[in-house]
Amino acid sequence: MTALTRILSTTAFKLAAIYLTSFTALSVFLFIFISQNTDDLMNKQVVQTVDAEIQGLAEQYAQNGINGLVVGVERRVRSPNSNLYLILDYSGNVITGNIAYLPEKVLSVSDGRIQFVSYTPLGFAETDQNKAKAIVRIFELPGNFKLLVGRDLEDQVHLKSLLGDALTLWLVGMVVLAGITWFFLNRRILKRIDNLSMSSRLIMEGDLAGRLDVTGNGDEFDRLASNLNVMLDRIEELMKGLKEVSDNIAHDLKTPLTRMRGRVEAALRQNLSENEGRECLEETLVETDELINTFNALLRIARVEAGSTGAELQSIKLGNIVKDVCELYEPVAEDDGVEFSVSLEDEPVIEGDRELLAQALANLIENALKYGRPTEENIKPTIKVVLSGNDEQAILSIEDNGAGIAAADRERVCNRFVRLDSSRHAPGSGLGLSLIKAVVTLHHGELQLTSAGTADDSESDKQSGLRARIVLPLNKGQRGEGEGNEAWDKARKKNATS
Ligand SMILES: Nc1ncnc2c1ncn2[C@@H]1O[C@H](COP(=O)(O)OP(=O)(O)OP(=O)(O)O)[C@@H](O)[C@H]1O
Ligand SMILES: [Mg+2]
């Protein structure tokens, strides 16, 4: 495409052309309207002046006859800026007047009607340049005399040409100005668009970290570029996540699969009894189930991270979820000899997905049950679930009195498949915290892992159990309102007695 066709096909050019055409048409219409109306108005005034003259002259004629009329005309002709007069005798000779030449056929129409004529004023040669326009009326008087009274239209012609010049100037100015404005604007727009498409081409070619230019002037291109950049950030994040997942799958799922394959191969080679064969198959089945669970967990995390769980965030009371989940785990904990306590200190209402939040809490409680065992035998394992809040946030904290997680490991344990060496004894795939993190991020919240026992212990490395806190933003204006307050009262009472 040549530069010209590229420019001609831009929206900016088309818009400019449409505006220019409409504006020109409107200006021409306005010019015709104004000049037509001024013309009519001025003609009317001229005719009125001529008629008043005629009235005056008619009175003079009535009083003093043709001689009186001639004297009257002569006097008027001498006054500056006089009207047009002509008196002819029966043979067409000029008796007096200020017109040098008039077409014959005009003089032949002497019934007093208005005539638009072109004439040569007295004292000028009869050439085309000396011709002027006028409105005249011609009357026949007794004795075959003819009287012409008229008025020059020079002022009108002048005004009309002035209007014409003004319109031409206006149109030329407008076109030039529109052209200049359009040219610079178009160049700027084209430059920005070229920039955007060049950056996007680079990104398409694999430079996933590349971003579109944002000039900072806040125009529509900046807004578009910023939004696209946010989208690219998100895509990059998802791509990274995808790559991480595939890497992890390659590393972490290969081992159990190889183990399974080895076992099946060995079983095939050995001559196993029916019972041994059954045992081997059962072991393989358990491992296959574990693999399927791991895959399901991975898919779930990916779906939550991509925000495509199909769940719509609704206004929910977090306390109800905590209550339901804790009711499930309380007996399990008691069976395990763990002291389990729930404290609902506040009744925050948040925007969230019930099922995902319940799953996140369950994962944290399961972790506390699995890894939160005190190292010293004489200390009773305890798990404390506390729901509290402030004006801005709901805080759900799950605390155990186990070995906790060293500060250096707290960030990485949230990555997929990360399991600390100290906890290899317990079953698990290292995906629980990843899911919790994804769920919390989906809810615009935060997952904080700290050491239990100290107030602000993010820096403390002292091992005194893990405190996992899910901090979620409140759904403002709905705190403790509406139905369900009774349930809260009951929960509080139950909590107080427990
Ligand atoms: N309460 C805790 N105390 C000490 N270590 C913990 C605690 N919770 C988690 N961890 C450590 O963090 C690791 C990751 O936990 P995560 O929940 O992601 O995986 P998992 O429990 O090992 O497996 P999964 O939850 O998928 O069954 C655990 O393997 C454990 O080493
Ligand atoms: Mg877990």
CATH number of domain containing 478:
3.30.565.10
> What was the pLDDT predicted at 455?
53
Least confident window among 345-359, 388-402, 411-425? 411-425
Whether residues 289 and 324 fall in one domain? no
Which of 76, 43, 53 is closest to 152 using CA atoms? Answer: 43
468 CA: nearest ligand 1 atom: 1
Ligand 1 midpoint to CA 416 (Å): 11
> What was the pLDDT predicted at 477?
56
Determine the structural domain holding residue 152 and report its residue range: 11-157
Identify which of 300, 367, 450 to mutate to test ligand 1's pocket (most ligand atoms within 8 A of the CB).
Answer: 367
| Residue 181 counted as domain residue | no
Whether residues 152 and 48 fall in one domain? yes
Ligand 1 midpoint to CA 132 (Å): 107
Ligand 1 midpoint to CA 411 (Å): 12
> What was the pLDDT predicted at 482?
39
CB of residue 401 inside a 6 A radius of ligand 1: no
Whether residues 415 and 482 fall in one domain? yes
CB of residue 420 inside a 6 A radius of ligand 1: yes
CATH of the domain at 103: 3.30.450
Ligand 2 midpoint to CA 342 (Å): 20
**Distance from C-alpha of 315 to C-alpha of 170, rounded to nearest angstrom:** 63
Whether residues 333 and 455 fall in one domain? yes
Whether residues 292 and 365 fall in one domain? no
| Residue 196 counted as domain residue | no
Whether residues 364 and 481 fall in one domain? yes
- What one-character-per-residue DSSP string does 248-295 give? HIIIIIHHHHHHHHHHHHHHHHS---HHHHHHHHHHHHHHHHHHHHHH
Tokens standing for residue 434? 């990843």
Q: Give the ligand at the shortest distance from the Cα of 433.
A: 1
Whether residues 23 and 67 fall in one domain? yes
Q: Which of 139, 157, 175 is the last residue of a domain?
A: 157
Ligand 2 midpoint to CA 389 (Å): 25
> What was the pLDDT predicted at 410?
93
**Distance from C-alpha of 196 to C-alpha of 189, rounded to nearest angstrom:** 10
CB of residue 330 inside a 6 A radius of ligand 1: no
pLDDT at 492 over 70: no
List Cα–Cα distances, 441 to 358, 401, 470, in angstroms: 15, 27, 10
Identify which of 410, 423, 425 to mutate to test ligand 1's pocket (most ligand atoms within 8 A of the CB).
Answer: 423
| Residue 174 counted as domain residue | no
Which of 261, 259, 463 is closest to 374 using CA atoms? Answer: 463
Whether residues 102 and 22 fall in one domain? yes
Mean pLDDT of the chain: 86
Ligand 2 midpoint to CA 121 (Å): 113
Q: Give the ligand at the shortest distance from the Cα of 375.
A: 1
Q: What is the pTM of this model?
A: 0.56
Whether residues 324 and 433 fall in one domain? yes
Whether residues 366 and 296 fall in one domain? no
> What was the pLDDT predicted at 13?
79
pLDDT at 332 over 90: yes
> What was the pLDDT predicted at 4?
76
Number of domains in the chain: 3
CB of residue 430 inside a 6 A radius of ligand 1: yes
- Which of 22-26, 215-219, 356-360 is most confident? 356-360
Q: pLDDT (tens digit, 9 = 90+) per residue, 218-262?
A: 888 899 999 999 999 988 888 887 887 788 777 778 888 898 999
CB of residue 371 inside a 6 A radius of ligand 1: yes
pLDDT at 493 over 70: no
Under the phi-then-psi rule, with left for phi > 0, alpha for psi from -120 to 50, and beta for the rest, what region is 230?
alpha
Ligand 1 midpoint to CA 311 (Å): 26
433 CA: nearest ligand 1 atom: 18
367 CA: nearest ligand 1 atom: 8
**Distance from C-alpha of 77 to C-alpha of 303, rounded to nearest angstrom:** 103
> What was the pLDDT predicted at 442?
92
| Cβ within 8 Å of residue 1, ≥6 positions away | 9
CB of residue 417 inside a 6 A radius of ligand 1: no
Ligand 2 midpoint to CA 457 (Å): 22
CB of residue 84 inside a 6 A radius of ligand 1: no
| Residue 396 counted as domain residue | yes
Identify which of 359, 400, 419, 463 to mutate to test ligand 1's pocket (most ligand atoms within 8 A of the CB).
Answer: 419
Confidence of residue 447 (pLDDT cuts 50, 70, 90): very high
| Residue 308 counted as domain residue | no
Whether residues 121 and 246 fall in one domain? no
Q: pLDDT (tens digit, 9 = 90+) per residue, 409-433?
A: 999 999 888 899 888 888 888 999 9
Identify which of 371, 415, 470 to mutate to test ligand 1's pocket (most ligand atoms within 8 A of the CB).
Answer: 371
Ligand 2 midpoint to CA 334 (Å): 19
> What was the pLDDT predicted at 462?
47
Given a contact cutoff of 8 angstroms between Cβ atoms, the answer to whether 416 and 245 are in contact is yes
Q: Give the ligand at the shortest distance from the Cα of 401.
A: 1
> What was the pLDDT predicted at 350?
95
Q: Which of 116, 142, 157 is the last residue of a domain?
A: 157
Tokens standing for residue 340? 């389990």
Q: Which of 157, 191, 215 is the last residue of a domain?
A: 157
| Residue 165 counted as domain residue | no
Residue 53 phi/psi, 5-degree rounding, is -60, -45
402 CA: nearest ligand 1 atom: 3
> What was the pLDDT predicted at 249?
76
Amino acid at residue number 252: D
pLDDT at 457 over 80: no
| Cβ within 8 Å of residue 475, ≥6 positions away | 315, 349, 350, 351
Q: pLDDT (tens digit, 9 = 90+) per residue, 136-178?
A: 999 988 888 999 999 998 888 888 889 889 989 998 998 898 8
Given a contact cutoff of 8 angstroms between Cβ atoms, the answer to whether 12 and 174 are in contact is no
Whether residues 442 and 338 fall in one domain? yes
pLDDT at 485 over 50: no
Which of 349, 359, 355, 350 is closest to 311 using CA atoms? Answer: 355
Confidence of residue 185 (pLDDT cuts 50, 70, 90): confident
| Residue 189 counted as domain residue | no
Q: Give the ligand at the shortest distance from the Cα of 405.
A: 1
Kindly give the pairing relationship between strand 446-451 and strand 466-473: antiparallel
> What was the pLDDT predicted at 165?
92
| Residue 197 counted as domain residue | no
**In this structure, what is the dihedral angle of CA atoms 186, 191, 195, 196, given to the nearest 10 degrees?**
-10
